[in-house]
Amino acid sequence: MAVIASKCPEITVTVVDINQKRIDAWNDPSLDELPVYEPGLKELVESTRGKNLFFSTDVEKAIDESQMIFISVNTPTKDYGVGEGMAANLKYIEACARTIARVAKDDKIVVEKSTVPVRTAATVKSILEHTGNKVHFQVLSNPEFLAEGTAIDDLLNADRVLIGGEQTPEGQAAIGELTSIYGHWLKPHQILTTNVWSSELSKLAANAFLAQRVSSINAMSELCEATNADVREVARAIGMDSRIGPKFLQASVGFGGSCFQKDILNLVYIARHYGLVEVAEYWEQVIRINNHQRERFARKILTSLFNNVADKKIAFYGWAFKKDTNDTRESSAIYIADFLIRERAEIHVFDPKVSLDQMLSDLNYLNSRPADINAAKLSASNDPYAVAGDSHAIAVMTEWDQFRDLDWPRIHDGMQKPPFIFDGRNLLDRATLQEIGFEYVGIGT
């Protein structure tokens, strides 16, 4: 919305949320950081806020005054009842649709921006039409393809924007309205229009294909370790085939983030719903490899440290699910910390953007261990040298650039011997670290 506001000065954009604290934070010019850390976002918000970008909790007023409404609520994996652990929980989408239906007094275009299962637009339309004030709604699907950490650039230089709409004159007119917004900064060939169902499914398909690449290279990483191949060399060799391409072939401690796992589970659930067992199992395997990669990494730490980490201090460099974000959802660091705490290790974390409160809430959400045990076993500091001091090992969880530039000889001197580095991102230079005296363990190398 900040990008739209900055590129379309004649359009008024109002972001509404029922969480007063969060809206206050977005409105507060004195805060050093916005609620979401995203490179370039602060500058963009500061240049548009109060001009044509507004943050408010007055949901009804914003609906009443808008011609176009983006539904951008979260659609987490359902954690109860039918479809538990797989299906998307659409209660927030439904609540939005009902509020819009109740409040709207004139025709509106409703845009699904949240990632939703295919055919959700039918639900939204049905609620709008049956509970509304007899006004006309057009429902468009406009899935988001930006990645966190590169969001602004991904939007400004989008590979494509996808807009799905009804194949009727009214549907095409609504597509035209949204196209004209993106047309402020994108060329016509970057804006793709389809029917609603193709658009909804394409979003899930894109994330499934991306995650599948990570799981494929991670599966290769295990084979590399068994055969003395080097996964970085394999990735380079296969990535130079233009049919395969070089991106998203970085072996890692497993993908995280709020999207990949959730969207694949969603896809699997839909496939099962239609009785497509083989299709469901095919995509499910992407998640199984990801879980396996996390567990494999955690076990490697345990076995390398002489099968005993009880009361040993292990330093984590990074907690966020990737660099340049403070988002920790589904980060592999949470799962690996949990495994090691079960083995009674003590985890000390340095992450440039994530608070200890967030880390503890991630752990408490994942396991049923009493919160005070998690709090006793997990600590954090802004000082990477203090975090590593006295530790038996450092585990690199996130590929923050600044980890490369640390004073590694100093870190080495402060650690227990032999000092291990488990580089879950293949971020650091093995030869240099070995020369300093570290036991270096990478992924697939």
Binding site for ligand UGA (CB under 6 A): 115, 144-148, 207, 210, 214, 248-250, 252, 255-257, 259-260, 321-322
- Among 8, 96, 224, 259, the active-site one is 259
- Give me 193's structure tokens: 């229009």
CB of 116 to ligand UGA, least distance (A): 11
- Amino acid identity, position 107: D
Residue 144 appears among annotated catalytic residues: yes
Assess contact for 91 and 78: CB atoms under 8 A. no
CB of 37 to ligand UGA, least distance (A): 13
* Minimum CB distance to ligand UGA smaller for 87 or for 214: 214
Q: β-pairing, 53-56 with 191-195?
A: unpaired
CB of 319 to ligand UGA, least distance (A): 12
- Those residues with Cβ within 8 angstroms of residue 40's Cβ, 6 or more apart along the chain or in another chain: 152, 153
CB of 68 to ligand UGA, least distance (A): 21
Residue 121: name the closest of 199, 67, 175 by CA. Answer: 199
- Among 7, 78, 108, 203, the active-site one is 203
- Those residues with Cβ within 8 angstroms of residue 133's Cβ, 6 or more apart along the chain or in another chain: 101, 102, 104, 105
166: helix, strand or coil: coil
Residue 203 appears among annotated catalytic residues: yes
Q: List b or e across 174-188, with b for residues whose CB sees 16 or more CB atoms inside 10 angstroms.
A: bbebbbebbbebbee
* Minimum CB distance to ligand UGA smaller for 248 or for 282: 248
CB of 145 to ligand UGA, least distance (A): 4
Instruction: Return the HEC string of 387-432.
Output: HHCCCCEEEECCCCHHHHHCCHHHHHHHCCCCCEEEECCCCCCHHH
Residue 96 appears among annotated catalytic residues: no
**Measured distance CA(335)–CA(379) in Å, rounded:** 16
Active site residues: 144, 203, 259
